[in-house]
Amino acid sequence: MLLQPNPENICFGCGGANARGMLLAFEQDDATQRIRGNFRLGAEYQGGPGFIHGGIIATVLDEVMGKVCRFRGVHAVTAELRIEYLKPVLVDADLVVEGYEVEMKGRNLFLAGDIRDVSGKVLARGKGRFVIISPKQAAKDDAPEELAGKPIQK
């Protein structure tokens, strides 16, 4: 199933209502319980000359891992995010990103993801702890109105 940017979501990574956002789209593979995306990130996401900015790499990994929560049908927010930058991610290179669940402990979902080049070489790897919340909790914690009572789209 293709996960296109939601035109009502203002998320920088995957929202469709953010003119300055990345508009990331993913594919949900129910059989393997994995989320995948194929991207080519342009010079607007550059850090050093010719290289994608490390914060953008972290954003892409956070987004793909956050989408994995869909398999459990839960709302979750990033609590911890660790990124390993293994090789340079080049501007305008074809990239494959994938996210998956490692384990669940109570309200904590431990997720992982990686960014590869088209030959399969791992360029960056991420691990995250995502905490499951309910729409009621989001509203009680003074979350923005657009999150209260609606699925969080990461």
CA distance 63 to 139: 22
114 is catalytic: no
CA distance 2 to 105: 28
The catalytically annotated residue of 62, 92, 94, 117 is: 62
Positive or negative torsion for Cα 107, 104, 117, 82: positive
Residue pointed to by tokens 């991420």: 126
CB neighbour class for 2 (10 Å; exposed up to 12, middle 13-18, buried from 19): exposed
CA distance 68 to 29: 10
SS (H, E, C) 53-68: CHHHHHHHHHHHHHHH
Write out the catalytic residue numbers.
62
